[in-house]
Structure 1
């Protein structure tokens, strides 16, 4: 018997707390626990458990919602009850949440200090498994008007070419650029390559008339501003 048919048979015998759709319609999404919201995304469980019980098992396996949001396709599909489609739908939902959060923060305030950048970008970059070099493009009021991942991989001056950075800046009519990258190790201490890349980009910015305001390195809930550290 399929999980869908099994769920249909159980029907009204399922306790109300295991029927999150009904609770959401009655009380609104804010009243639902993480497992209930997750169950709505999952839609169906397995022959042995409801969607709600499957959601509880996922949260327990990955420890919490954040751990689940960081799970790879392979990690998700390794669990009973999660096939490729369910895994992809979950990952898509979490990615939309991250993007919405980032865009909302972009519109809130002008960038004045390195911690303003860190508050916006740490949630997005702290858990990346590879180094990502990202540029934030600012207007004359220091508000973010765009964001672009320039490359993924180990930072090297020969890879982070000023042409790619300033091509995107010019396309957006940017007044300034803030560069960021993450250290998957969690330690944001700048390397020699980080410092060389920063100086190269700053010099190129002076030539094209677009200021490189800072280079912020993201670690595990920590950051280092190369400007504050005296490397710019």
Structure 2
């Protein structure tokens, strides 16, 4: 039996027409993704392809789709390289929008504020990423910089890279943040050793190290609250 043509499909399977008729806020996740995918195949509509992509989320969360590779997306029949690139691009863009929203001038009053700011960006990362949150005299975020990617140790996280931008823009204080891909935020001996070294460098430069936050999967540990620093 031949499949229906697009114009013969119900409105719910015509995401472009539905978007025009009722607005993007009324489209489902699959319909929004179908707009990006644009076209279906002989076997699947664009909406059905989008549903197959969404099913690849291991925990049902949209944010975990960021971990999908181009190769994984292309395993879906009907998702070629171009469509995979389109999907990855929109996922990356949405992640950047979410992570940048409200960062500048965001006031940090506690470790919870840092968690709120960076948890969703960092909890699903497959590698350790070390960040420095640069603050002004009012504890407002001036900038967040990526310092290193890889297992945290004193050779990778060098004080020169950590404090170079901080000195350049004249920040008053700094908070370090990195993730544990295992999901367990418990600090390792190397985490503590590296933090102590950076703390000493901050003292020399006159830049206060307020805290070091380790982010796990939905949970975090503050070195300050644990009296590690």
Mark yes or no: TM-score above 0.5: yes
Counterparts of 1:135-154 in structure 2, within 5 Å, are 135-154=132-151
Cα shift at 1:108: 6.7
1:50-107 per-position Cα deviation (integer Å, ceiling 9, x unaligned): 1011111221233532332321222112221112221122111111111111221314
Partner residue, 1:39: 34
Counterparts of 1:52-131 in structure 2, within 5 Å, are 52-62=47-57, 64=60, 65-107=62-104, 109-131=106-128
Pairing 1:19–2:19 present? no
Number of residue pairs the alignment of both structures matches: 226
Which portions of structure 1, spanning 4 or more consecutive aligned residues, are displaced by more than 2 angstroms? Answer: 60-70
CA separation of 1:111/1:40 partners in 2, compared to 1, >3 Å: closer, same or farther? Answer: same
Match of 1:175 among 153, 168, 172: 172
- In structure 1, the residue corresponding to 2:119 is in which secondary structure? helix
Match of 1:201 among 191, 198, 201: 198
Match of 2:227 among 213, 226, 230: 230
Counterparts of 2:105 and 2:153, CA distance in 1: 33
Tell me whether 54-63 or 42-51 shows the greater mean CA deviation. 54-63
More helix by share: 1
Give the aligned CA root-mean-square deviation in angstroms: 1.7
TM-score, normalised by the number of residues in structure 2: 0.93
Match of 1:159 among 156, 160, 165: 156
- In structure 2, the residue corresponding to 1:129 is in which secondary structure? coil
- Structure 2: gaps (5+ residues): none
Cα shift at 1:45: 1.3
- In structure 1, the residue corresponding to 2:198 is in which secondary structure? helix
Counterparts of 1:128 and 1:60, CA distance in 2: 20
CA separation of 1:108/1:13 partners in 2, compared to 1, >3 Å: closer, same or farther? Answer: farther
Pairing 1:10–2:5 present? yes
Give yes or no for contact 2:65–2:91 (8 Å, CA) kept in 1. no
Cα shift at 1:204: 0.4
Give yes or no for contact 2:133–2:176 (8 Å, CA) kept in 1. yes
Counterparts of 1:67 and 1:110, CA distance in 2: 28
